[in-house]
Amino acid sequence: MTPLLEFRNVSKIFGGGLFDKKRTIALENFSMSLHEDPPLITAVVGESGSGKTTLARLLLGLETPTQGEVLYRGRNIHTMNGSERRQFLHDVQFVFQDPYGVYNPFYKVDHVLTKPIAKFKLASSRQEARKLIENVLETVGLRAEETLGRYPHQMSGGQRQRVMVARALLLKPKLIIADEPVSMVDASLRATILGNLQELNEKFGISIIYITHDLATGFQISHNMIVLYHGAVSEAGAVARVVKAPQHPYTQLLMNSIPLAVPERMWHRDTTTSSPTKPAADFQGCKFADRCPQVMDVCRTQQPPLYQTEEHRVVSCYLYQGNAPTLDSAGLEKVFITQPGG
Residues that bind other proteins (CB under 8 A): 47-48, 156-157, 159, 186-195, 198, 213-217, 219-221, 240, 243-244, 253-255, 257-263, 265-267, 269, 273, 275-276
Query: Considering the complex, what minimum distance in angstroms separates the CB of residue 277 from other proteins?
Result: 10
Residue 243 CB, shortest distance to other proteins, in Å, is: 6
Nearer to other proteins, 64 or 273 (CB): 273
CB 282 within 8 A of CB 24: no
Whichever of 3 and 141 has its CB closer to other proteins, that residue is 141
CB of residue 154 to other proteins, shortest distance in Å: 10
Cβ pair 260, 266 in contact under 8 A: yes
Rounded Cα–Cα distance for residues 342 and 340 (Å): 6
Least distance to other proteins from the beta carbon of 39, Å?
18
N-terminal to C-terminal alpha carbon distance within the chain: 21
Cβ contacts of residue 124 below 8 Å, gap of 6+? none
The residue (of 43 and 71) whose beta carbon lies closer to other proteins is 43
Report the alpha-carbon distance of residue 182 to residue 217 in Å, rounded: 9
Residue closer to other proteins by CB (options 184, 330) is 184
CB nearer to other proteins: pick between 257 and 294: 257
Total count of residues recorded for the chain: 342
Closest contact distance (angstroms) between CB of 262 and other proteins is 6
- Contact between residue 241 and residue 312 where contact means Cβ atoms under 8 Å apart: yes
User: Does residue 38 have a cis peptide bond before it, meaning omega lies within 30 degrees of 0?
Assistant: yes
In 3D space, the residue among 209, 202, 128, 210 whose CA is nearest the CA of residue 170 turns out to be 128
